[in-house]
Amino acid sequence: MAAIKKAPACLDLCVTADDFEAAAKETLSEKSWVYASSSASSGLSHQSNLDDWSRINFRPRIMKKVNTLDTSRDVLGKKSKLPFFITAMGTLGSAHPGAEPALVTGATRKGINAVISTATSKSPETIMEAHLSEQKKVNNRSPTRLDFQLYVPTDRTKAKTLIQRIKVAGYHSLWITVDSSTQGKRTADRYLQAQEKLDEGGIEVVREAAAENDFGPAFGGRPTAGYLHPGLTWEDIAWISEEWGGPIVLKGIQSVEDVKLAVQYGVQGVLLSNHGGRQIHSAPSALMTLLEIRSYYPEAFDKLEVFVDGGLRDGADVLKALCLGATAVGVGRPYFYALAAYGTDGVEKCTEILTEELEICMKMLGVSSLDQLHPGLINASRLLNEMWRPDSFGPSSLKAKL
């Protein structure tokens, strides 16, 4: 577990989700900070995640009755209190000694859903126990649900063992990561590795793995042998689905063609994501992929649930994605930073900040419930001008696929 550098500023000084980043940077060790903040190559994918939210504007309607608000929505067959969730993040033990149990405790108190990563610091059972323990304290009134993000091991027997463990533990849905046939080039982490090797006289530094998770990677998310499956194909959905027997979401979809395939293969949802800008260099933002779906395959929204994550830092931006048809939006790094600096209290405060911003924007936008949202409430023309088109390079067989 990474050493704490110094105590963060008072939690009351965190007014926006961005404020947790500075607090975490002051708190985390260099190794943990590099892991959390790094992205692929020069950072273009990560930067587009951040920038694209600001390239959509609202078109507010006034004089609407908004004295009461309903922020709930149905997600994979269950009622969700909020239209955003904590997206999967690995090795939270590098951020805080409470790790994932501290995260889900805060999530349960605030009624927000969370997706738990295969790359956890604690076992999936221990994390679920923390959730159920907190549920008992509130007489099972929290609507929080835990889902599980799956890196499919190359060994199918090992994969089935993990799936069965998750099933028995009580996780609601399985989110299969499909954008990790290999690991992206994490530039800041490469510099750190090189410096560590130099400091050790040319000897390669082997990072410690999570002691309580047999399926976890080495520290910093560095994969171990058999951890990432380069041979995973669409056909694998069949045996995973049979083994799991519940809702399946594909995490890491980045094109409309693959959304169409997801429908054909019968999954219940897709998470549009470029892995926080940590995998392929120059990836599209989730918002850009969301626009592709609305433009070229709008019927997808009637066939499965569409989630997005990456770069969101303001609760108001949740509404932008929902106006375009998303079911819910995932938030990652702000929760990592909040946990790192303040533990469970930070997780709660981050949820409060995003919820307040969501509610303020709903009122000013002129909607009292999420089912009133529609594309006419936003202006996405700046993103649309740069969106991929089937005929961008002349006649293309791609057009026929859509």
Inter-residue contact 364 to 379 (CB < 8 Å): no
Pairing of the two strands 57-58 and 378-379: antiparallel
Q: How far is CA 219 from CA 65, 94, 126, 137, 289, in A?
A: 51, 8, 19, 33, 31
The active-site residue out of 229, 275, 281, 374 is: 275
CA 103, CA 338: separation in Å to the nearest integer?
A: 9
Inter-residue contact 247 to 174 (CB < 8 Å): yes
Q: How far is CA 166 from CA 139, 174, 180, in A?
A: 24, 9, 21
CA 250, CA 269: separation in Å to the nearest integer?
A: 6
Q: Is 235 helix (H, G, I), strand (E, B) or coil?
A: coil
Binding-site residue ranges for FMN: 88-90, 117, 149, 177, 251, 273, 309-313, 332-333
Using the structure block, give the residue that is written with the tokens 């009755």.
Answer: 65
Binding-site residue ranges: 35, 88-90, 117, 149, 151, 177, 186, 251, 273, 275, 278, 309-313, 332-333
CA 227, CA 239: separation in Å to the nearest integer?
A: 18
268-271 long-range Cβ contacts below 8 angstroms, 24+ apart: 268/76, 268/173, 268/304, 268/305, 269/76, 269/173, 269/304, 269/305, 269/306, 269/307, 269/327, 270/304, 270/305, 270/306, 270/307, 271/87, 271/175, 271/307, 271/308, 271/309, 271/330
CA 49, CA 58: separation in Å to the nearest integer?
A: 18
What letter would DSSP give residue 172?
Answer: -
- DSSP of 127-165, one letter per residue? HHHHHHHHHHHTTT-----EEEEEPPPSSHHHHHHHHHH
CA 338, CA 19: separation in Å to the nearest integer?
A: 9
Neighbouring C-beta atoms of residue 379, cutoff 10 Å:
14
Inter-residue contact 33 to 17 (CB < 8 Å): no
CA 127, CA 169: separation in Å to the nearest integer?
A: 9
Please indicate whether residue 275 is annotated as part of the active site.
yes
Which residue, among 113, 149, 150, 151, has the nearest Cα to 131 in the 3D structure?
A: 113
Catalytic residues: 275
